[in-house]
Amino acid sequence: MSLAEKEIYRFGHFTLDLTERVLSCEGIPVSLTPKAFDTLLCLVRNHGHVLSKDELLKQVWPDTFVEEVNLAVNISVIRKALGENPQDCRYIATVPGRGYRFVAEVTDFVVHNGNGSLVRALASPVSDFPAEESAVGLVEEGGANKPDAAVFTYPKPPVAVPSAVTILFLIAAAFGGYLWNRHDTATPSASAMTSIAVLPFTDLSPGRDQEYFSDGLAEELINDLTKVSGLKVVGRSSSFQFRGRNEDLRSVGKKLGVANVLEGSIQREGDRVRIRAELVQVRDGFQLWAESYDRKIDDIFEMQDEIAGSVTGALQLKLLGAKAGASRERSPNGAAYEAFLHARYFVTRGRDKADLDNALAFCEQAISLDPKYASAWAMRSYILDTMADVELREPATAFRMAREDAERAIELDSNGVEGYLALAWVQINRDWNWEGAELSLNKAAQLEPGSASVLRVRSFLAHSLGRLNEAIAFHEQALAIDPLLASSHSYLAFLLYCAGDYDKAEASARKALELNPQKTYDHFTLGEILVAQGHAQQALVELQNEPAPFWRLTGEALAYRALGRTHEAEAALTQLINDHQKYMAYQIVEIYADRGDADRAFQWLNRAYEQRDAGMRNLKIDPLLQHIRNDPRYSELLKKMNLPS
């Protein structure tokens, strides 16, 4: 069972379950997007109090600039889910010029503590209690202190901290003894036992501002475990889907398909950081190992390495009997390492300008503090490539710098998988150096045989070369390791669409939207699939939900053309060209090619070629290009790109 409490709020006929992240009405789940759920939670927790729009924006979209309209959309979605309109004010009242107030009575909430005991209390707005007061426990059965219903709980201070060697010995001994004692009992197969998910560590710091560090710790553990041949390690994106959900670990294990889960917490105060980690067998909740660590923040690198090494050692010693993979070079400079963790935190948040700008700034700070920091150079390569891809950097310069950074990362650390992946990405998308990319990926696969990231990029290479079945197989392997990554389901949907397997393609696209309802591209993909199936009118309805204007316009141009509505199709294409031609040349190619207008299609193909448009890797498999593949200019273009004809 999870160590964290269960938090439930009730109002009217509704129940808001923070643990399961579910709103229900008399036991029936009510659909809400993740951000709408977060908005409702903020309002309910502060019921009776006016929350300004700025306060809500900061709480629901921390560290990200979003327009106020996003908040208004969320409020509208919540009101619809609660069955009220803005004039009713049964649940949410608009306070003109200020913000919103949750006006319904929140009668009570229930918290299940780690030992299964129950606390019931009248709900009060969280803002009524200072942080230091809200940590006071309630006295329950047996006089034990239980955490207050509305707040977090700090772990108990650890006792004397053993050395790294002692920790490793104790872990191995305890874990080995456990397995020895259970040797004769019924156990899962060896293959089932050799699987693990590392959940994001909970930030218990007073300011709740150490998420970058807690995420970095979990990711270091994932990276180290991935190097072990024969061990299935669930990818970061899937494991991190369970952030803040406090879900029963048996349910987590079932959803991720693993036998073991590693979870923990961090608490940073001043120059000290306290970490607790535990390894749990999900089928029976048995704690295989647990340890607490207390260090100065200056020792951040040593501490993370110690924990990663200890846990990896315990798993390898008894589950695998294998040797660890080659160790990655990481900066001995604590400040550089912390800057790197900040950069990685913003990279994983998304591709908008604010996140990418922050990521680049922290990454360059890490490189400035330690010019030999290979992982930072590899990350900067990825950031620069992405910034060029989303119109934030001049493409030619950014792509050149991305290539140089990737090569520098490999030069500094020939055993670091990040450098080879960064180089392969540039070689596939920008250089069209297919042989070089194959060599880079073979080396990456040798270093981290269980990496979902490596499998995904191998899929990109196979699809670029026209090996569609191989691309699908690689990507399905990646999804088996990282099953909850929305973008992976999106990409699989595209591959299946190209293969003509429309039913499976549609299922994959809808799975991506289920995992991330606000994600761009997936409504466009569904629109493409529906057009291919002869359902262009349905495609238009689907495309209205596409949040990215350039994808929506591309889809509308295709759907209107399929319906014979020439005027609307031309209007969509004209707007796409006027507003997005600089970075959407390949999509303009698709529209002209679908119309059979070969001359204009090749005119834009030449432009996409000169711009090193990432869409060019779809030449061999894109069904929209079928009308121009017999044109001699198509074969000439394949030769220029070093692609097989």
Amino acid 634: pLDDT: 97
- SS3 labels along 476-514: HHHHHHCCCCHHHHHHHHHHHHHCCCHHHHHHHHHHHHH
pLDDT reading at 607 higher than 50? yes
Sheet holding 99-102, edge to edge: 50-52, 99-102, 92-95
Amino acid 116: pLDDT: 39
Query: Which H/E stretch holds residue 94?
Result: strand 92-95
Per the DSSP assignment, residues forming a β-bridge with 16 are 9, 23
Which tokens go with 493?
A: 């949907």
The DSSP 8-state label assigned to residue 534 in this structure reads T
Would you give the distance in Å from CA 258 to the centre of its chain? 19
Q: How far apart, in Å, do the first and last CA atoms of the chain sit?
A: 56
Residue 12 pLDDT grade (very low, low, confident, very high; cuts 50, 70, 90): confident
Alpha-carbon Rg for the chain, nearest whole angstrom, is 26
For the segment 322-381, what is each residue's pLDDT rounded down to a tens digit? Answer: 344 444 566 677 788 889 988 988 888 777 888 899 999 999 999 999 999 999 999 999
Tokens 């560290």 belong to 63
The full set of domains in the chain, from first to last, is: 1-153 (1.10.10.10), 164-325 (3.40.50.10610)
Distance CA 406, CA 444 (A): 13
Q: Look up residue 363 and give its amino acid.
A: C
Amino acid 156: pLDDT: 30
Residue 470 pLDDT grade (very low, low, confident, very high; cuts 50, 70, 90): very high
Contact 417, 382 (CB under 8 A): no
Contact 551, 581 (CB under 8 A): no
For the segment 395-408, what is each residue's pLDDT rounded down to a tens digit? Answer: 889 999 999 999 99
Residue 138 pLDDT grade (very low, low, confident, very high; cuts 50, 70, 90): very low
How big is the CA angle at 454 (ends 450 and 457), to the nearest 5 degrees?
A: 150
SS3 125: coil
SS3 221: helix
Lowest-confidence range among 168-182, 305-319, 371-385, 421-435?
A: 168-182
Distance CA 289, CA 291 (A): 7
pLDDT reading at 213 higher than 90? no
Q: Give φ, ψ of 562 to 5 degrees.
A: -65, -30
- Beta strand ranges found along 363-487 (DSSP E): none
Amino acid 308: pLDDT: 61
pLDDT reading at 113 higher than 80? no
Neighbour-count burial for 377-398, b at 16+ CB within 10 Å, e otherwise = bbbbbbbbbbbbbeebbebeeb
Contact 20, 247 (CB under 8 A): yes
Amino acid 143: pLDDT: 32
Would you give the distance in Å from CA 93 to the centre of its chain? 34
Amino acid 526: pLDDT: 96
CA distances from 436 to 389, 417, 443, 550, 642 (A): 22, 15, 11, 32, 12
Distance CA 23, CA 82 (A): 10
Q: Which residues are CB-neighbours of 473 under 8 A, at least 6 positions away? A: none
Contact 214, 201 (CB under 8 A): yes
Average pLDDT in the 47-52 region?
86
pLDDT reading at 24 higher than 70? yes
pLDDT reading at 53 higher than 60? yes
Which tokens go with 452?
A: 């979902």
Distance CA 225, CA 219 (A): 10
Residue 109 pLDDT grade (very low, low, confident, very high; cuts 50, 70, 90): low
Tokens 């294998």 belong to 322
Amino acid 392: pLDDT: 87
CA distances from 478 to 200, 333, 391, 457, 513 (A): 20, 33, 29, 10, 18
Q: Look up residue 33 and give its amino acid.
A: T
For the segment 151-184, what is each residue's pLDDT rounded down to a tens digit? Answer: 222 233 333 333 333 333 333 333 333 333 333 3
Amino acid 588: pLDDT: 97
pLDDT reading at 382 higher than 80? yes
Tokens 């269980």 belong to 450
Lowest-confidence range among 136-145, 215-224, 306-315, 502-511?
A: 136-145
Amino acid 218: pLDDT: 86
Amino acid 67: pLDDT: 62
Residue 228 pLDDT grade (very low, low, confident, very high; cuts 50, 70, 90): low
Average pLDDT in the 568-583 region?
94
The DSSP 8-state label assigned to residue 199 in this structure reads P
Helices and strands, counts by H and E, the chain: 27, 17
The DSSP 8-state label assigned to residue 240 in this structure reads G
Per the DSSP assignment, residues forming a β-bridge with 274 are 267, 294
pLDDT reading at 277 higher than 60? yes
pTM over the 0.75 mark: no
Contact 515, 484 (CB under 8 A): yes
Q: Which residues are CB-neighbours of 533 under 8 A, at least 6 positions away? A: 502
Alpha helices in 147-228 (DSSP H): 164-181, 190-193, 211-226
Please state at what angle helix 585-595 crosses helix 598-611, rounded to 10 degrees: 160
Lowest-confidence range among 112-116, 256-260, 330-334, 517-521?
A: 112-116
Mean pLDDT of the chain: 79
Amino acid 395: pLDDT: 83
Contact 39, 75 (CB under 8 A): yes
Amino acid 433: pLDDT: 92
Higher pLDDT, 80 or 548: 548
Sheet holding 14-17, edge to edge: 28-30, 22-25, 14-17, 8-11, 108-112, 118-122
Most confident of 64-68, 74-78, 542-546: 542-546
Amino acid 596: pLDDT: 96
Amino acid 457: pLDDT: 96
Distance CA 591, CA 513 (A): 25
What percent of the chain has a predicted confidence (pLDDT) above 90?
Answer: 39
Higher pLDDT, 492 or 212: 492
Residue 271 pLDDT grade (very low, low, confident, very high; cuts 50, 70, 90): confident
Q: Look up residue 258 and give its amino acid.
A: V
Amino acid 464: pLDDT: 96
Per the DSSP assignment, residues forming a β-bridge with 267 are 274
Average pLDDT in the 112-127 region?
40
Residue 593 pLDDT grade (very low, low, confident, very high; cuts 50, 70, 90): very high
Amino acid 191: pLDDT: 43
Average pLDDT in the 25-47 region?
86
Most confident of 136-140, 165-169, 419-423, 479-483: 419-423
pLDDT reading at 210 higher than 70? yes
Distance CA 164, CA 311 (A): 11
Q: Which residues are CB-neighbours of 550 under 8 A, at least 6 positions away? A: 576, 579, 580, 583, 584, 587
Residue 555 pLDDT grade (very low, low, confident, very high; cuts 50, 70, 90): very high
